[in-house]
A and B are shown apart, each in its own frame.
Chain A
Amino acid sequence: MIASLGFILLVIALLVSIFAIVAYLLGIRQKNASLMYSGRTGVLTSFILVTISFAVLTIALLTHHFEISYVAQHTSLSLPTPYLVSALWAGNEGSLFFWCWVVAFCSALVVLQARKGERELVNYAAVILSALTGFFLVLLVFVVNPFKTQSIVPADGAGLNPLLQNPAMIIHPPLLLAGYAIFAVPFAFGISALITRRLDDLWVGKARSWAILGWLALGMGNLIGAWWAYVELGWGGYWAWDPVENAGLMPWLVATAFLHSVIMQRRRGMFKVLTMFLVILTFWLTIFGTFLTRSNLLNSVHTFGVTGIEPYFIALLVVIIICGIWLLSNRSKQLSGKNQIESMISRDGSFLLNNLLLVVSAGIIFLGTMFPAFARWFGQPDVTVDKSFFNMFNTPIFIVSVLLTGICIVIGWKKFNLKDFYRRAFIPLIASAVIVVLMFLVGFKTWYALIAYFFCFFAILSTLWQWVGDLSWRKIVTEEEKAPEIKGTKFWASKNRYGAYIVHVAIALISVGIIGSSLFDKDQTATLKPGESTTISKYKLTYNTLDVTSPSANNTVIIANISVMKNGVSIGKLHPQQTYYSGQDQTVSEVAIRTNLSDDLYVILSGWDNTTQEVNLHVLVNPLVMWLWIGSGVLLLGGLVCFWPQPLETMNLPAALKPKPENRAKKLPEPVQKQKSKKTKYLSGRRK
């Protein structure tokens, strides 16, 4: 009953989406505004239907409708409520459903937010977004129906994999999926701009805020996933270059390049082709990532099984490439920029170089990820690509990117100006050098780590120095910087700039963590009898006792009691443990982590013997990991500042759209306008 309701809603939503596409296209062709308005209604209706259907699945999960296969496969009666909800995106059907819902939601917001003068652009964007919603609805209706029922209703469901029963797993998948799905909007605006030949800054402005939201969701999704792997999976690391991780990283890298390219286009009127190319590539990679996690293409540790959706995704990927290339080449004349890059040693140059590096990095990750599949297609023996490949090529790129983060702040737009450079860079350079020399004297002797840290400190300090300069004396800002976008030094007035500063500091902090934990980690295994101890770096761990308890009938907990000394001083106890779930016949390690700003002591109980009381411990010291998580928090803050809607008064709008506070009171009471219905207002606002 509830299953048929949900399914029928999906079918109707699909029909409504098709209607919306047809109505929009006919309306555009016949210049018929009421048809376009019907299309808009269609988009909104489709969103409402998908939402209700999604709510139906949620209710089915919460009320244990085990006649629905999806509910039976991913939940059980004993599962806590938050995980019942998280089951919505725990499986293939549910996660595609969530994707679909996010696209439908974004489409509805896009048509609702359309202002006068943007309708032409929005109409085509709505067509593209409806087509995408339709694509996912086709999958849900014909291939991976989340409401599929089974004739034999089990008494209890299979439950959720205990590894996934972690708070991070409630927010990590939807953030990643939402990040993927949101990039549909910048893509739709880009393609719409190409079709309508409105290649000015309008589409870029509309696409930018959506791209920031998607970028932030994807970035935080990846970072939370890394954090989950670190605290839950118990192998001591946070990133393994697994295909599924790579699938989430590639679009994020290209989206970062896109956001920088947007700044280039808006401020300097350059690189319009590049901006367009990057938005198409980002979206292509999000679809590719969604596909990769659901195909049998690769032997990843975490893909869904065979699902039959491959041909649909391959078709979509091909369509995006062909349409993208065709439109780009066809409109290349209109895309030529009005300005030229004057010198590579300028902020323009640093942006361009940074974008190049980001795309190349994504290309290398793509190559490494897909190589096993390529090899198989060409009849080569099965191979796997080691982590060393990704590290070897991405590390230098990553370090140069961090350096560019510092450099772009201290050099001006257009041309290199030694005086400006000196004013902005001198103090940060000296300060970073002093810190690095101090590190060397204290005992850091690894030269490449010192260089990398010099870049990180320089990036952080030059950004903060510029900020201090902005706040305290205006001299640091040069003539050319007084572009219309930067009106004053007030934080919210130029929040995009300060948001970017915060993000840049965050990236440098994250780099500090990554460099420290990947170059200086220590790793040791030990087999200990009660009372014995092992030493790693400045820590001494003494194993005391083994406790075995059974908190409930279907799980057993084994805990090792370990006391820790640091430099000879007792600093407390650690309790690495293993929980055995008899229901799933699975053990889950609970690592013990003692964290502080300088390093993490990370202890895994990897084996134990009940009779001899011996234990195997895997002990790691991961320096500076905390900075990775601190940087993540700062990244979230900076991203939100960039995304936050700008106060209208400070926006750089065309004069006509600007609110005039002194005239506002007089202008508002216009009886004619007030009486207009929503629909006529829409029609009158339409461009001829």
Chain B
Amino acid sequence: MKKNKKYIIGGAIIGVAIIILAYLGLKSSLTYYYEVAELVAKGSSVYDKTVKVGGEVLPGIEKNVSLAEIKFQIVDINDTTTTINVDYHGSQVPDTFKEAAHVIVEGKYTSQGIFEATAIITKCSSKYIPATVTGVTK
């Protein structure tokens, strides 16, 4: 009995230790997330740091196929006066990326006021419910 308990308690201690280690390691894997207005308010303190920014895509997406580049603007979801320009270079554009989509862009905000995105993640209001639903039920 005692021996089993020893192993279980020993194991539990090791397990907890690993999880604490993981917690400490977590810090290096964190990316800060801001709304558009928060990012703009932060100003120069966030320049050239990798962050994620959430907002809504405004009409006027410019796609340049020969440069494999997409330029668009995102607006803060609550504060519709604050917008930022996003430049995305790459080819991993989610299917649900379109005007009025809620997106999270990951990349760096530069002192020129342009967000150089390395990834676009679309945030559907739900995986299961298409956006058009709200129009139908109301």
Note whether A and B form a binding pair. Answer: yes
Contact in complex: A386, B30 (CB < 8 Å): yes
Contact in complex: B33, A616 (CB < 8 Å): no
Contact in complex: B137, A72 (CB < 8 Å): yes
Question: In chain B between 59 and 87, which residues have their CB closer than 8 angstroms to a CB of chain A?
Answer: 63, 65-68, 70
Q: Which residues of A contact B33 (CB under 8 A)?
A: 299, 372, 381-384
**Contact string, A381-397, partner B, CB cutoff 8 A, digits 1/0?**
11111101100110000
Q: Which residues of A contact B98 (CB under 8 A)?
A: 585-587
Q: Which of B18, B91, B123, B132 meets A364, CB within 8 Å?
A: B18
At the interface, yes or no: A273 with Cβ under 8 Å from chain B?
yes
Contact in complex: B22, A305 (CB < 8 Å): no
Contact in complex: A303, B1 (CB < 8 Å): no
Cα–Cα distance between A74 and B129 once the two chains are bound (Å):
7
Nearest A residue to B121, CB-CB: A301
**Contact string, B32-43, partner A, CB cutoff 8 A, digits 1/0?**
111000000000
Contact in complex: B18, A606 (CB < 8 Å): no
Give B6 Cβ to nearest chain A Cβ, in Å.
9
Cα–Cα distance between A244 and B124 once the two chains are bound (Å):
14
At the interface, yes or no: A322 with Cβ under 8 Å from chain B?
no
Nearest A residue to B18, CB-CB: A360
Given contacts A161-B130, A604-B91, contact A527 B14 (CB under 8 A): no
Contact in complex: B95, A586 (CB < 8 Å): yes
Contact in complex: A606, B4 (CB < 8 Å): no
Contact in complex: A359, B90 (CB < 8 Å): no
Contact in complex: B29, A392 (CB < 8 Å): yes
Most chain B CB inside 10 Å of its own CB: which residue of A150, A164, A271, A356: A356
Given contacts A356-B15, A385-B26, A527-B66, contact A301 B124 (CB under 8 A): yes
Contact in complex: B90, A368 (CB < 8 Å): no
At the interface, yes or no: A270 with Cβ under 8 Å from chain B?
yes
Q: Which residues of B contact A233 (CB under 8 A)?
A: 95
Cα–Cα distance between A382 and B137 once the two chains are bound (Å):
32
Nearest B residue to A589, CB-CB: B95
Q: Which of B32, B92, B121, B126 meets A303, CB within 8 Å?
A: B126
Nearest B residue to A383, CB-CB: B30
Cα–Cα distance between A271 and B15 once the two chains are bound (Å):
17
Question: In chain B between 24 and 62, which residues have their CB closer than 8 angstroms to a CB of chain A?
Answer: 25-26, 29-34, 52, 54
Contact in complex: B132, A158 (CB < 8 Å): yes
Contact in complex: A274, B93 (CB < 8 Å): no
Contact in complex: A389, B123 (CB < 8 Å): no
Contact in complex: B128, A161 (CB < 8 Å): yes
Cα–Cα distance between A542 and B35 once the two chains are bound (Å):
42
Cα–Cα distance between A609 and B62 once the two chains are bound (Å):
12
At the interface, yes or no: A286 with Cβ under 8 Å from chain B?
no
Cα–Cα distance between A305 and B135 once the two chains are bound (Å):
15
At the interface, yes or no: A544 with Cβ under 8 Å from chain B?
no
Cα–Cα distance between A368 and B24 once the two chains are bound (Å):
11
Contact in complex: B30, A384 (CB < 8 Å): yes
Nearest B residue to A524, CB-CB: B91
Cα–Cα distance between A608 and B64 once the two chains are bound (Å):
9
Contact in complex: B130, A69 (CB < 8 Å): no
Give A303 Cβ to nearest chain B Cβ, in Å.
7
Cα–Cα distance between A560 and B46 once the two chains are bound (Å):
41
Contact in complex: B65, A614 (CB < 8 Å): yes
Q: Which residues of B contact A386 (CB under 8 A)?
A: 29-31
At the interface, yes or no: A588 with Cβ under 8 Å from chain B?
yes
At the interface, yes or no: B111 with Cβ under 8 Å from chain A?
no
Cα–Cα distance between A661 and B106 once the two chains are bound (Å):
70
Question: In chain A between 61 and 109, which residues have their CB closer than 8 angstroms to a CB of chain B?
Answer: 69, 72-74, 90-92
Cα–Cα distance between A49 and B129 once the two chains are bound (Å):
28
Question: In chain A between 261 and 284, which residues have their CB closer than 8 angstroms to a CB of chain B?
Answer: 270-271, 273-274
Q: Which residues of B contact A304 (CB under 8 A)?
A: 126-129
Give B136 Cβ to nearest chain A Cβ, in Å.
5
Q: Which residues of A contact B133 (CB under 8 A)?
A: 73, 158
At the interface, yes or no: A518 with Cβ under 8 Å from chain B?
no
At the interface, yes or no: B11 with Cβ under 8 Å from chain A?
yes
Given contacts A73-B136, A270-B4, A304-B128, contact A388 B32 (CB under 8 A): no
Contact in complex: A527, B128 (CB < 8 Å): no
At the interface, yes or no: A154 with Cβ under 8 Å from chain B?
yes
Most chain B CB inside 10 Å of its own CB: which residue of A161, A336, A608: A161
Q: Which residues of B contact A270 (CB under 8 A)?
A: 4
Nearest A residue to B3, CB-CB: A340
Give A369 Cβ to nearest chain B Cβ, in Å.
11
At the interface, yes or no: B125 with Cβ under 8 Å from chain A?
yes
Contact in complex: B128, A607 (CB < 8 Å): no
At the interface, yes or no: A612 with Cβ under 8 Å from chain B?
yes
Contact in complex: A271, B4 (CB < 8 Å): yes
Contact in complex: A607, B126 (CB < 8 Å): no
Most chain A CB inside 10 Å of its own CB: which residue of B11, B52, B104, B128: B128
Cα–Cα distance between A604 and B93 once the two chains are bound (Å):
10
Give A684 Cβ to nearest chain B Cβ, in Å.
40
Given contacts A73-B137, A301-B122, A615-B65, contact A371 B26 (CB under 8 A): yes
Contact in complex: A299, B104 (CB < 8 Å): yes
At the interface, yes or no: A617 with Cβ under 8 Å from chain B?
yes
Q: Which residues of A contact B95 (CB under 8 A)?
A: 163, 233-234, 586-589
Contact in complex: B23, A385 (CB < 8 Å): no
Cα–Cα distance between A39 and B65 once the two chains are bound (Å):
68
At the interface, yes or no: B110 with Cβ under 8 Å from chain A?
no
Q: Which residues of A contact B19 (CB under 8 A)?
A: 360, 363-364, 367
Contact in complex: A607, B26 (CB < 8 Å): no
Given contacts A586-B96, A618-B91, contact A359 B15 (CB under 8 A): yes
Question: In chain B between 101 and 127, which residues have their CB closer than 8 angstroms to a CB of chain A?
Answer: 104, 121-127
Cα–Cα distance between A372 and B137 once the two chains are bound (Å):
32
Give B46 Cβ to nearest chain A Cβ, in Å.
11
Contact in complex: A616, B91 (CB < 8 Å): yes
Give B39 Cβ to nearest chain A Cβ, in Å.
11
Question: In chain A between 611 and 625, which residues have their CB closer than 8 angstroms to a CB of chain B?
Answer: 612, 614-618
At the interface, yes or no: A658 with Cβ under 8 Å from chain B?
no
Contact in complex: B7, A527 (CB < 8 Å): no
Q: Which of A91, A274, A372, A614 meets B128, CB within 8 Å?
A: A91
Contact in complex: B25, A612 (CB < 8 Å): no
Nearest B residue to A169, CB-CB: B128
Contact in complex: B93, A607 (CB < 8 Å): yes
Question: In chain A between 572 and 606, which residues have their CB closer than 8 angstroms to a CB of chain B?
Answer: 584-589, 604, 606
Can you list 18 residue pairs at the A/B interface with Cβ under 8 Å? A72-B137, A91-B128, A150-B137, A161-B128, A301-B123, A301-B124, A305-B125, A337-B4, A367-B19, A367-B22, A367-B26, A382-B33, A384-B30, A386-B29, A389-B22, A607-B68, A612-B66, A616-B65
Known pairs A158-B132, A301-B121, A363-B22. 12 more at Cβ < 8 A? Answer: A91-B129, A158-B130, A158-B136, A235-B94, A360-B18, A372-B33, A381-B34, A389-B26, A392-B25, A525-B90, A527-B68, A614-B65
Q: Which 4 A-B pairs have the closest CB atoms?
A: A302-B127, A389-B29, A606-B91, A609-B65
Chain A residues at the B interface, C-beta cutoff of 8 Å: 69, 72-74, 90-92, 150, 154, 157-161, 163-164, 233-235, 244, 270-271, 273-274, 299, 301-305, 336-337, 340-341, 344, 352-353, 356, 359-360, 363-364, 367-368, 371-372, 381-386, 388-389, 392-393, 525, 527, 584-589, 604, 606-609, 612, 614-618
